[in-house]
Structure 1
Amino acid sequence: MCSAEPARDAAAVWDIATPSRAGRLPGVSMAGFRARTTAPVDLSVVPYPAVTVAVDLGDGRLAVGDGNGGQHHGSVVVGLASCGVRGHGRDIECLQVRLSPVVAHAVLGASAELGGTVVSLDDLWGRDGARTQEQLRAAGSWDDRFAIVEAALARRHEAGRAVDPEIAFVWRQMLTNPGAARVERLAAEVGWSRKRLWSRFRTQTGLSPKRAAQLVRFDHAAHRLAAGHSAALVAAEIGYVDQSHLHRDVRAFAGVTPTAVAVAPWLAVDDVAWAVPAYLSKT
């Protein structure tokens, strides 16, 4: 959970590392963060259309509040549309992985419990997670760390259960048409009833199709706002009924106004750390 409030200049706060080559597993993005300062970090997380795994490499210095008053120390998994999540600590060093929900289903061995929740990585991966974290702390470079994570994800992806092809198709359609995807039309395209699509999608991603489509649209809106576009223009561009509709959606996902999202430190690192979003990476 890597930025610091209220600074917007990510380079002044963090040393950010990214893989030197493209990953082999579709739908996965990785970045490494090391704080340049010993000052405490207290950061609001902006929801994102991917499951985020934050691997703590600093001996438990990273703590994550889950929005319900719970505190999680060490490595965590932040589910889709998790509202009110905050990261805080000192001397933070962590490796973040963003997983498309299509990939997360197989890799994490969990889906329904990852809609709007924060869980310990150890709870999902057990001893395998502990071994991987030990290897990461012992690694000599970020590239070595990225290779270790990629190998661990590839093993689990191969052994895990893939999402239904219909679910993968619906997810891609949501990404391609933010604000325009309609559940009834998508169900008809895959030959399912609306009820079946709703049930299978929620079971395998943790969100209902409607909520997932809203999350994708919110993400596009948040990044347009951060790029300096007005709320009125953003609302008109990506399918909101009006500016008030945009305001309500931003409040629902981020807990703040569009003006606050536009200057959110969480988004300030995106151009450096996440040049290719996980949910768009070959999924």
Structure 2
Amino acid sequence: MSAPDDDRIRAPHPRLRPYLGDYVGYDISGVPAGTHLGLPSGALTFVVTIGEPLRQVDAGRFDVLLAGLHLRPTRIRHNGTMAGIQINVSPFAPRALFALTAAELTHRTVGLDAVSRPLAAELHDRVNAAASWSERFAAIDAVLLRVLSDDAFPRAEVGRAWTQIVRSRGRLPIGTLAEEVGWSRRHLSARFRAELGIGPKEAARVIRFDRARRMIAGNAGSTGRDESAGRAEGAGNGASPTLAEVAAACGYADQSHLDRDFAAFAGTSPTAWLRSDPVAARGSSAELAAR
């Protein structure tokens, strides 16, 4: 299945870019009804639905949702059709937009109406009333710019630590990270967890896993994967990397290390994930870069 068209992806207003990744419009149809796994990543997830609410197992139905950092998959039920706008957001975005810390959202999915019912209603109504993707993106810009606080920052050391973890793609040793920010490992871990809800070591693992997951999904395309060989079926001549090559590129010791982390974060193997979740093979929205 194809990726979103170019007109369905747009950067947010410049003032919002330190906190938000691209606005990614999606309109998925023609896949079997089932359960889509929302896998851990280095970004919180903000979704404004179009039409039907998003239904998350064990969390409820949402018109506008904000999902925090998490270390286990979330399960989203769908009837084969889903539409909306998804935005990957920095862990520091909740402070700037909603006066929350990322730690207050860790392992949780909340409806924005629980934070501000008027704001959630306005976002949902304006996005659903818009006639084009560009109008929908402009509506999100307008609403979020109005509530943006330009002086809601975490401790500089925490922000710097997060940026270094993302820029190193999760490969910077925590001891080195602590030295760079001028704190002990214990103090860094405590302050980092208080702000983000997970420790720096967990954050590095998630960033590394997310990169591997996106490589696997991006390489899948319309082909299946042979789990025993660990290579995309029909790859031929190195067209797609093996899982062992993905593991090496993402900083894992070997493929078994990747498999263990995939099982821990996704509850399944890479190939079983692609086979069981047709939405997964569509790939993901662009990674939120370190700002």
Q: Residues 238 and 38 of structure 1: is their aligned pair in 2 closer, same or farther, counting only changes over 3 Å?
A: closer
Kindly provide the CA deviation profile for residues 158-190 of structure 1, in whole angstroms up to 9, marking residues without a partner as x: 267222222222122112212421222212211
- Counting only pairs closer than 5 Å after superposition, residues 1-283 of structure 1 correspond to structure 2 as 9-10=1-2, 17-19=7-9, 23-24=13-14, 25-26=16-17, 27-37=20-30, 40=33, 42-60=35-53, 62-65=54-57, 69-90=58-79, 91-110=81-100, 111-158=102-149, 161-226=152-217, 227=219, 228-261=240-273, 265-270=278-283, 274=285, 276-278=286-288, 280=289, 283=291
Q: Residues 252 and 141 of structure 1: is their aligned pair in 2 closer, same or farther, counting only changes over 3 Å?
A: same
One-letter amino acid of the structure 2 residue matched with residue 33 of structure 1:
Y
The number of residues matched between the two structures is: 264
Kindly provide the CA deviation profile for residues 245-283 of structure 1, in whole angstroms up to 9, marking residues without a partner as x: 21111111111112234565444334xx73x422x1x61
Assess if the C-alpha contact under 8 Å between 2:192 and 2:200 holds in 1.
yes
Assess if the C-alpha contact under 8 Å between 1:45 and 1:266 holds in 2.
no
Could you state the TM-score of these two structures normalised by the residue count of structure 2?
0.79
One-letter amino acid of the structure 1 residue matched with residue 96 of structure 2:
A
Q: Residues 224 and 95 of structure 1: is their aligned pair in 2 closer, same or farther, counting only changes over 3 Å?
A: closer
**How far apart are the structure 1 equivalents of 2:259 and 2:31?**
36
CA RMSD of aligned residues (A): 2.7
2:223 aligned residue: none
Q: Residues 260 and 135 of structure 1: is their aligned pair in 2 closer, same or farther, counting only changes over 3 Å?
A: same
2:154 partner SS: coil
**How far apart are the structure 2 equivalents of 1:160 and 1:152?**
18
1:3 aligned residue: none
**How far apart are the structure 1 equivalents of 2:9 and 2:250?**
31
One-letter amino acid of the structure 1 residue matched with residue 41 of structure 2:
Y
Assess if the C-alpha contact under 8 Å between 1:46 and 1:267 holds in 2.
no
For residue 16 of structure 1, report the CA deviation from its aligned partner. 8.1
1:6 aligned residue: none
Q: Which runs of 5+ in 1 are unaligned?
A: 1-8
Q: Give identity over the alignment, percent.
A: 31
One-letter amino acid of the structure 1 residue matched with residue 287 of structure 2:
P
**How far apart are the structure 2 equivalents of 1:38 and 1:221?**
24
**How far apart are the structure 1 equivalents of 2:9 and 2:149?**
22
Q: Which runs of 5+ in 2 are unaligned?
A: 220-239
Assess if the C-alpha contact under 8 Å between 2:274 and 2:281 holds in 1.
no
1:106 partner SS: helix
For residue 84 of structure 1, report the CA deviation from its aligned partner. 2.8
1:96 partner SS: strand
Could you state the TM-score of these two structures normalised by the residue count of structure 1?
0.81
One-letter amino acid of the structure 1 residue matched with residue 70 of structure 2:
A
Assess if the C-alpha contact under 8 Å between 1:235 and 1:246 holds in 2.
yes
